[in-house]
Structure 1
């Protein structure tokens, strides 16, 4: 039963250089007010960059006539496909240094056009960068290098339909170019949801989630996109890989696992059968305050090892709680939420709050079962969570260095890891800029055996050298993560920015196998060169 794609925000203009919608960005006055919070920032904001001021060269290649109708050389579209949305990308755009702008952008409508474009690119030495919503924050959708004749950005967003729904098995066949809101709008009339909501939900696609093994908003249970995959359809230069729809299989290594997280380096994911579920009808949430952050960590660990399975179990350290407006008294805040499609969740919330109190938390009485946040701290955090990327861009216009990085480690390493990151990254930022930095932490996902800390760094930059400053800070952060055997990324992917850390984390025999797979599936080396492997 096919559905018709729709998106209520299609009429809103997307920013080519920064996060999200142009009408949601802070104006000059708000940018100046934000800059006042970080001593040493610019006196006035950098101007919003214009495509007309960019060095957009003439395309170095001409598409074949049979594909010309799905390919464009429009400068504005090409500029919008040149980078992702990391701090490095934003500040490079503001400084007029966007890097290599793709020669062409293609919007294929079906698998055959994707295959034809790959064949043409292989014959002509054209690098192909698969592109979904362009929300990468790790250099995953840009071309760095000079070994290819030209660069084609392969935008999948025209392939955005829910093609089929299997209500008996709770699954749906969905094209990979569907943005989050487009996907959910097609499932909603059937009372279904994919229930995968990353922070980039509005501006990222199913294919992007699959290619980067994205993590969703939910803290426990099925929160990673891997958990929802039933089968994949992938177009590679060597042919089309279509796995069987199965609830489970022990037949050798999983073919889907080869392409999940491959970041467009092995093939182009064009559609997938995904496990969907009924939309939740019962919700309840509350916040818990802690004066001792380490006791709060113990509480979260106990929750993660229980069978309560909270949908939200996000711990904010005092700095993060202050930044989001969840607390103003120096307390750490645990944001708890429960939801269900079948039964009330008040009892689970009450049990979780009792557990948190046993670890020193100050918790209110449970909120009534309802769709609204359980208290003002929950609402404040939720609003700040959605607004934060726009504020980051506003601070970037003031010359500040503001960025995030995330990781995951086992519980025995978490307390010392967080303390070391705060100390070492703060010291690196001070050394690089001469200004004290703010280094905040929150736990975004929790597991019985570990957790995913997510760090925010903010410091006044060196005017004109903001990218170099961030690279110095990020290198210090990567060193800390490696020393603690924490992953280089929990859900942001590898891209090009995390390659050094990924190379250290990846076992050498697996690297050999990955290179062999790359050579077999992409013999001309055109797919997203430099991502994951050379």
Structure 2
């Protein structure tokens, strides 16, 4: 093997993937041995008995029946000529890893060995020129191309259509993972689209910068994936959603690259940038993003607050959004999620634990119903003076809405736990439970109605499928006009977990639409949310989207069927 070939081989081997059957990496799992309140809490809310220690799932890859690849030798040889033999994978494991995302539906099916259609091969391009050659080959040979980032999508944006008869190429962008350049005068960074969150932050931080984009999937998702699904990060109050962060793009299309310059603003017709953001791979392959980056803040702090009710917490978040304060995070959990958070906490030590133990007594003395209280996390970043000023403004608003500060301890817990929650879902599935999420956004005037109607819809759905279920939610991602509400639901499933999930998921999504909220705030559409698109953006809106896809990709080469269904 030549030095060049060895470098390529090492590069492909360095591309990181999650385990085929669940979230994250092998050897990392949720356990509750150090969380004494968790098992009793789960038993109480959904009736599921949890065992101690790390549970053996019993899943073995060799037990899967993987459909054979239909890629012909001509296609394989052509791709090998473009990227090299080491960068074309046809083995079953690689193909299965690239079949699904990580929604509860995906995990139910993969655990059951359901593989209706699997990519026929996986290709790892090393640069944009190779992506261009692959795209041109796909158009000429009538192949399907599905771009693949970290594989964390939970709305069915990655899976091949079951009835697809053409050869399907999963285009893994993991080798395009570098920060190419930073314009330090403008705070604009040219970044390859395949870089996963931690790797990009490491490169940026080394030069004193941050992207400021930290979605729950941060550790296993990519910049290109964030753009393709209109992602939003936990610190969007300060840094904006990915649509705000994305200033320029390079997108490989048949015969050439769609290049969008990074300028502060432009009046150049309908926004091509906005067309690409959220397009889920249907308009081409995103290879590079010019992103707005920020200097690393001098100070960063997450403080916790308590409110006596959900109403008080929502009112405080609205007041903060309307004020001169500029926090990086504004989040408040409803009473159900607050109880869950406390149940997943580890015991503290010393005086801090004594204060925690006394807190319910102190709150009851103030007239609070501790079962209704709501936990909030508010983040502050910037120079010391800015942080102090913002904390003071927020403190006045919290007090005016009957809330109280409870310090930095729970804030540190928030930082520790925020990227680990998906592992808990796998653990819950190991014990016969099903859990997933739905998120939306609505104006401030509608948030309380959205929340109450979602709860009612979910509980009615639990009754219909005959289970003891649980729903909880929080507000995150505040805007001047409204905010995102994020719901988690769980139940002990029966023999047909997917059918039960459909009943609950449909009820929650329809409640969003019926209350004037959107079908999704930041997870995207994929296949999962298509049934509500015409109600959300109007039938004419769907027709305009479909017209764009048909015109830009008449051969339906790029991730067909996503967003609009055709």
TM over 0.5: yes
- Please state how far the C-alpha of 1:33 moved relative to its aligned partner: 5.0
* Alignment match of 1:387 (pick from 420, 440, 454): 420
* Alignment match of 2:272 (pick from 240, 255, 259): 255
* Alignment match of 2:164 (pick from 147, 171, 180): 147
Contact 1:284/1:346 (CA < 8 Å) preserved in 2? Answer: no
Contact 1:131/1:156 (CA < 8 Å) preserved in 2? Answer: yes
Asked if 1:451 is matched to 2:483, the reply is yes
1:303 match: secondary structure: helix
| Structure 2 partner of 1:315 | 332
Counterparts of 1:10 and 1:482, CA distance in 2 = 43
Unaligned runs of 5+ in 1: 1-5, 365-373
- Please state how far the C-alpha of 1:381 moved relative to its aligned partner: 3.2
1:233 match: secondary structure: strand
Q: Which has the higher helix share?
A: 2
Unaligned runs of 5+ in 2: 1-9, 346-355, 361-369
- Distance verdict in 2 for CA 1:11–1:134, change over 3 Å: closer
| Structure 1 partner of 2:79 | 67
| Structure 2 partner of 1:3 | none
- Please state how far the C-alpha of 1:519 moved relative to its aligned partner: 2.1
Counterparts of 1:446 and 1:346, CA distance in 2 = 21
Contact 2:218/2:419 (CA < 8 Å) preserved in 1? Answer: no
- Please state how far the C-alpha of 1:486 moved relative to its aligned partner: 0.6
Structure 1 residue ranges, 4+ long, deviating more than 4 angstroms after superposition: 9-13, 27-46, 341-344
| Structure 1 partner of 2:175 | 158
* Alignment match of 2:287 (pick from 251, 254, 270): 270
- Distance verdict in 2 for CA 1:49–1:38, change over 3 Å: farther
**How do 1:9-20 residues align onto structure 2 when only pairs under 5 Å count?**
14-20=18-24
Asked if 1:471 is matched to 2:502, the reply is yes
| Structure 2 partner of 1:360 | 402
* Alignment match of 1:58 (pick from 68, 78, 86): 68
| Structure 2 partner of 1:96 | 113
- Name the count of aligned residue pairs: 517
Counterparts of 1:361 and 1:27, CA distance in 2 = 33
| Structure 2 partner of 1:489 | 520
Counterparts of 1:13 and 1:520, CA distance in 2 = 34
* Alignment match of 1:130 (pick from 114, 126, 147): 147
Counterparts of 1:504 and 1:261, CA distance in 2 = 18
- Please state how far the C-alpha of 1:20 moved relative to its aligned partner: 1.0
Contact 2:15/2:175 (CA < 8 Å) preserved in 1? Answer: no
* Alignment match of 1:336 (pick from 378, 382, 390): 378
Counterparts of 1:83 and 1:469, CA distance in 2 = 20
Deviations, residues 125-177 of structure 1 (Å, cap 9, x unaligned)? 32211110000010111112313322211111111111111112111111100
RMSD: 2.6
Asked if 1:287 is matched to 2:304, the reply is yes
Counterparts of 1:519 and 1:490, CA distance in 2 = 25
Counterparts of 1:197 and 1:280, CA distance in 2 = 15
**How do 1:221-236 residues align onto structure 2 when only pairs under 5 Å count?**
221-236=238-253
Range 405-414 or range 497-506, more displaced: 497-506
- Distance verdict in 2 for CA 1:381–1:249, change over 3 Å: same
Range 183-192 or range 200-209, more displaced: 183-192
* Alignment match of 2:549 (pick from 494, 518, 530): 518
* Alignment match of 2:470 (pick from 438, 459, 463): 438
- Please state how far the C-alpha of 1:27 moved relative to its aligned partner: 6.4
Counterparts of 2:383 and 2:139, CA distance in 1 = 48
Range 150-159 or range 338-347, more displaced: 338-347
Deviations, residues 168-187 of structure 1 (Å, cap 9, x unaligned)? 21111111001111111111
Counterparts of 2:32 and 2:335, CA distance in 1 = 29
- Please state how far the C-alpha of 1:343 moved relative to its aligned partner: 4.4
1:530 match: secondary structure: coil
Counterparts of 1:240 and 1:447, CA distance in 2 = 34
Counterparts of 2:32 and 2:288, CA distance in 1 = 42
